[in-house]
Amino acid sequence: MKVTVSLIKADVGSVAGHSVVADELKTIAEEMLNKAVEDGKIIDFRVFNAGDDLELLMTHRKGIDSTEIHGLAWNVFRKCAEKAKEMKLYGAGQDLLKDAFSGNIRGLGPGVAEMEFTERRSEPIVAFMMDKTEPGAFNLPIFRIFADPFNTAGLVIDPSMHSGFVFEIWDILEHRRVIMKAPEEMYSILALIGCKSRFVIKRVYPKAGKLPTDEPVAVVSTEKLYQVAGEYVGKDDPVALVRAQSGLPAVGEILEAFAFPHLVSGWMRGSHNGPIMPVPFRYSKCTRFDGPPRCIAAGFQICNGKLIGPVDLFDDPAFDYTRMRAMEIAEYIRRHGPFEPHRLSAEEMEYTTLPKVLEILKDKFERI
């Protein structure tokens, strides 16, 4: 039987600037989603915060892009934004960029990662939630999970994964996509996804083996707030879902890709490069220089659509070294202050508030 897992997120207001979602908002979300379970709209849910982003993880049988499920998430965000306004929380309603819901939450501000698949005899899945960065931050770890034999031993030694995986890559500027196979087209995949502000991995599919080749095994949110709003309203803090085990990368192979704190763009004012730090849920709050960018991982087993978990997967001393390295990198790169490459490249800064400052300076120039 098929199950749909939907992870939908929005920043609807936070406490102490852009640090964390207030408990009051999480309580509202939980109450509303509990009601949706009682009404038979969804099977199960969990509410999280990734820093200042409210995260709704839901299971149901309505498929992806369901008006009912997107409408439910939209109503939860609206209610939470109302409460945030009443409490004068920071950035209340920030990501709800449009007023009218017309059937799908995509393009209205929130981020969405959802996939429908046949539930296996045992179905492990990991939900990743990042704050203070952008969808391209998932390119490196998702590539390594499904295509790098130095990360994922199963690509080499498990016959059911040995033929590799298929990547669906989106060009989020030109609104087009391309399907590419690994390992055959690995170098071409990297030629695209190395440019992480433009080309992002949207989905991964199995190639051959035990699993249906038309059902995704990983999905990433790719919504760009700038494109909806037409001006800087914060980064598009992304989420991803990754299925694991029995012919797919093991949970440990999936997590291994996060043992290297790679540089992502985001951090302060969505305008800086910095390391992504894998953290336990309790440290999912951005502090130093509004960061550094963080990622949490919630592990589940799905049982007839019900969620068993979460397991706080980065709550492990095995990731202490990664966190230490992340802070060494943070310390090093921060010393560059307003200089590139700590500050994003001029091209990427076009999507921030810098152009407004450059506009003021325009008339001070004279020809040379």
8 Å CB contact between 78 and 98: no
Question: Distance between CA 344 and CA 341 in Å, rounded?
Answer: 6
**Please, which residues bridge with residue 178 across strands?**
169
Peptide bond connecting 310 to the previous residue in cis, omega within 30 degrees of 0? yes
Q: Of 55-63, 236-244, 271-279, 300-308, which segment contacts Mg ion by CB under 5 A? A: 236-244
Candidate segments 11-19, 23-31, 66-74, 202-210, binder of Mg ion by CB under 5 A: 11-19
Amino acid 37 reads V
Q: Closest distance between ligand F6R and the C-beta of residue 84, in Å? A: 14
Rule CB under 6 A: choose which of 25, 290, 299, 323 binds ligand F6R: 290
Of 55 and 131, CB closest to Mg ion: 131
DSSP state of 363: G
Binding string, residues 201-240; x marks residues near ligand F6R by CB under 6 A: ---------------------------------xx-----
Q: Which is nearer to ligand F6R, 6 or 265 (CB)?
A: 265
**What amino acid positions are annotated as catalytic residues?**
11, 232, 235
Q: Is 52 in the site for Mg ion (CB under 5 A)?
A: yes
Alpha carbon distances (Å) from 180 to 114, 135, 142, 257, 273: 21, 19, 14, 21, 28
53 near Mg ion, judged by CB under 5 A: yes
Give me the helix-helix angle, 67-86 and 23-38, nearest 10°. Answer: 150
- Element spanning 28, H or E: helix 23-38
Range in contact with ligand F6R (rule: CB under 6 A) among 81-89, 239-247, 265-273, 315-323:
265-273
- Asked if residue 30 lies in contact with residue 147, where contact means CB atoms within 8 angstroms, the answer is no
CB of 237 to ligand F6R, least distance (A): 7
Choose which of 9, 18, 62, 196 interacts with Mg ion (CB under 5 A).
18
In DSSP terms, 114 is beta-bridged to 6
Selected binder of ligand F6R within 17, 103, 149, 355 (CB under 6 A): 17
User: Near Mg ion by CB under 5 A, which window of 84-92, 172-180, 197-205, 242-250?
Assistant: 84-92
Integer Cα distance of 139 and 126 in angstroms: 16
Tokens encoding 366 = 């004279």
Q: Give the interface with ligand F6R as residue ranges (CB under 6 A).
A: 17-18, 132, 234-235, 268-270, 290
Q: Give the interface with Mg ion as residue ranges (CB under 5 A).
A: 11, 18, 51-53, 91, 131, 237
